[in-house]
Chains A and B, each alone.
Chain A
Amino acid sequence: MTIAPPPSGPVPYERELALELLVDMLRIRRMEEKSAELYGEGKIRGFLHLYIGEEAVAVGALHALKPEDNIVATYREHGHALVRGMPMERIMAEMYGKRDGCSRGRGGSMHLFDAKTRLFGGNAIVGGGLPLAVGLALADKMQGTRRVTACFFGDGAMAEGVFHESANLAVLWKLPVLFCCENNLYAMGTAVARYESETDLSVKAAAYGMEAGQVDGQDVVAVHEATKRARQRVVESGMPVFIEYKTYRFRAHSMFDPDLYRDKREIEEWKTRGPLHTFTARLKSEGKLTEEEFLALDAKIGQEVEQAVAFAEASAWEPVEDLARDVHTPRAST
């Protein structure tokens, strides 16, 4: 497979926004590098799906959405939670399984939820968030609430029946859903061409009668612009829109994955299109960033990561007596 050249060209943003995008990508990267290290130390257990390599998608897309929008994400959602505004320490504590985690340690890495920022998980069933997004949008439409529901899902979800059921419902009922397909080219270890009859995923989405497009998911500017336009289209038309973000994960699917199904050269080639270093280079070439500034930002993020780890370490374990908590909503009286 030949891949496109690395993202390049002018960054059409003021320095402030450009640096915000850079900083958020770097925050995800550093947080996850630390998570992988902590996994090795046994501090984090279970499944841990790293987003490294795909950061431009969450950062570009979430910066294009509004605070009132609904977000539905997958089990590879650390980045989405962080950019959406969840404090890094709450994410880290959740991965530790501690009481101060965003989900009180009941969910772990795959189930980051945040009612405050309207993040409806963290769903670890492939495609599981899709009909939920349809329902959230339906609720908004029925209540006259102007809001977009952005649903992130992977390329693998496109092969699930529930994608097709959800796409059909969203168009049929004219619902404001932004379908955000993060196509990292592999459904766990199976390449798109080995499981899809039509490898152009936007063609499948368009078949349901919604606007559908593709964008370079390694280019945070392209992602940001495309998502802004798509959100605007959803608001104007009241109809769902589909975006396919072409991206690539640099790490294995999960910490259990020996990554034997990808050619190492392919991974190296994609790394030349890394979202962070290409964006950094563009900013430097435009004089919007110096190496010293970059190092200072990185050092500050390093401190944030260290504080998040310290917070998670210091947080208490939930007492076992509380095991049955939150199976049901507490009643005023029974």
Chain B
Amino acid sequence: MRHLSYREAMREALREALAANPRVFLMGEDIGKYGGTYAVTKGLLEEFGPERIRDTPLSELGFVGAGIGAALGGMRPIVEVMTVNFSLLSLDQIVNSAAAFRHMSGGQFSVPLVVRIATGAGRQVAAQHSHSLENWYAHVPGLTVLAPATVEDARGMLAGALADPDPVIIFEHVQLYNAEGDLPEPWTTDIHSAAVRRAGRDVSLITYGGSLPKALAAAERLSGEGIEAEVVDLRVLRPLDAPTILASVRKCRRAVVIDEGWRTGSLAAEIVAQIAEQALYDLDAPPVRVCSEEVPIPYAKHMEDAALPQTEKIVAAAKGLIGSEVPA
């Protein structure tokens, strides 16, 4: 078992993929000479050369589209879009080409493309650099959407994504890059299942990505108060692993869904809807959501903190479900 950072785990995964398959190549803004905005690709240009570690112009629509074309042409491109904020400029190609090609060609053309996108808030970079729009992508049939939240998943999920013959979007929360953890061997490459990160019995905390550490911290706090929370890490945002979610909710009978996206139309809303549709009579209380407040993310620290899901809010939401009565 090794101890390493999320960033190092992701870099190892990229290096492994590049070494294993000559058709794999990387392209994106500042991934080569600069070393990657979040330093994930640092050193790869020197190791694999400019043909395979391809710096692009600031042309998100163009180079994501070129990634799709290269995938159609027999390559296995891994395209890095610097952040989800800029990925909006490439959304047309992802939705109208990558996601639709197989279907609208009657099954003739699959698009084996992997797109890595940094996401999330918490760094005081204000409204245009703090989005969590994973739900936009998770809305689209034809895409698989991943949110690795642990060192193990940062190391393993890329291989799963590359083994998939269809487009896969990987969201990496910017607050996770420095997170450290132990890497078990062998690590999982599964890209289909949610994972229970902490077992519990009183309330399910269902979350993904950058909110996972907050949910785990909340579970720890709740445990100190005699409430055993179960923490479910979605890992895969499309398609959702409903059986794992529902099993946890049925066991705990209470659910808090934590999502850094804005509440309205959020992934959390979809999960609550699925719980209501399929497990309503197993619940002791209505499911609740802890999401971002409905404001563009502000710059000032105290205001940004107030806008985002926080451990205290999760603790309060869980306790609110259970009431003042602590379960036996």
Q: CB within 8 A of B105: which of A111, A131, A169?
A: A111
With a CB–CB cut-off of 8 A, which chain B residues contact A161? Answer: 61
Residues of A within 8 A of B141 (CB): 327
Binary per-residue interface labels of chain A (119-152) against chain B in the complex, 1 for a CB within 8 Å, 0 otherwise: 0111101001011111111111011000000000
Q: Does A166 contact B (CB under 8 A)?
A: yes
Let me know if B74 is at the binding interface, CB within 8 A: yes
Q: How many residues of B contact A (CB 8 A)?
A: 42
Of the listed stretches A14-22, A98-106, A213-221, chain B binds: A98-106
Q: Among A70, A122, A123, A128, point to the contact of B73 (Cβ < 8 A).
A: A70
Asked whether any CB of chain A lies closer than 8 Å to the CB of B81, the reply is no
Q: How far is the CA of A122 from the CA of B106 in the complex (A)?
A: 12
Given A103-B108, A334-B192, A326 and B103 contact (CB-CB distance below 8 Å):
yes
Known A-B contacts A120-B109, A123-B97; the reply to A131 vs B102 at CB < 8 A is no
CA distance A161 to B102 in the complex (A): 25
Q: Assess whether B1 is interfacial by the CB under 8 Å rule.
A: no
| Cβ contact within 8 Å between A135 and B72 | yes
Interface size on A, residues (CB 8 A): 45
Which chain A residue lies CB-closest to B57? A168
Is A128 a contact of B92 with CB atoms below 8 Å?
yes
Chain A binding site: helix, strand, loop or mixed by DSSP? mixed
Closest residue of chain A to B100 (Cβ to Cβ) is: A111
Write the nearest CB–CB distance from A113 to chain B, whole angstroms: 4
The interface residues of chain A lying within 8 Å CB-to-CB of B103 are 106, 326-327
- Is the C-beta of B237 less than 8 angstroms from some C-beta in chain A? no
How many angstroms between the C-alpha atoms of A328 and B70 in the bound complex?
Answer: 19
The answer to whether A130 and B106 touch across the interface, beta carbons within 8 angstroms, is no
Contact A169 B62 (CB under 8 A): yes
Bound Cα distance from A105 to B105, whole angstroms: 9
B residues in contact with A128, CB < 8 Å: 65, 92-93, 96-97
Contact in complex: A165, B142 (CB < 8 Å): no
Chain A residues near B66 (CB-CB < 8 A) = 131-132, 134-135, 138, 166, 169
Instruction: Flag whether A264 is at the interface (Cβ < 8 A).
Output: no
For residue B77, which residues in chain A have a CB less than 8 angstroms away from its CB?
Answer: 135
Contacts of A102 in B (CB 8 A): 106
User: B56 — which chain A residues lie within 8 A by C-beta?
Assistant: 169
Contact A134 B97 (CB under 8 A): no
A131 near B64 with CB under 8 A, answer yes
CA distance A107 to B75 in the complex (A): 25
- B171 contacts chain A at the CB level, 8 A cutoff: no
Given A125-B92, A136-B73, CB of A114 within 8 Å of CB of B108: yes
State A245–B313 Cα separation when bound (angstroms).
62
| Given A136-B70, A137-B73, A168-B57; 19 other pairs, CB 8 A cutoff | A70-B73, A104-B106, A111-B105, A113-B104, A113-B105, A113-B106, A115-B109, A120-B109, A125-B92, A130-B62, A132-B72, A134-B62, A135-B69, A136-B69, A139-B71, A143-B74, A169-B66, A325-B107, A328-B144
Which B residues have a C-beta under 8 Å from some C-beta of A? 23, 25, 51, 56-57, 59, 61-75, 77, 92-93, 96-97, 101-110, 141-142, 144, 165-166, 192
User: Which 4 residue pairs are nearest across A and B when measured between Cβ atoms?
Assistant: A135-B69, A131-B65, A139-B73, A165-B62
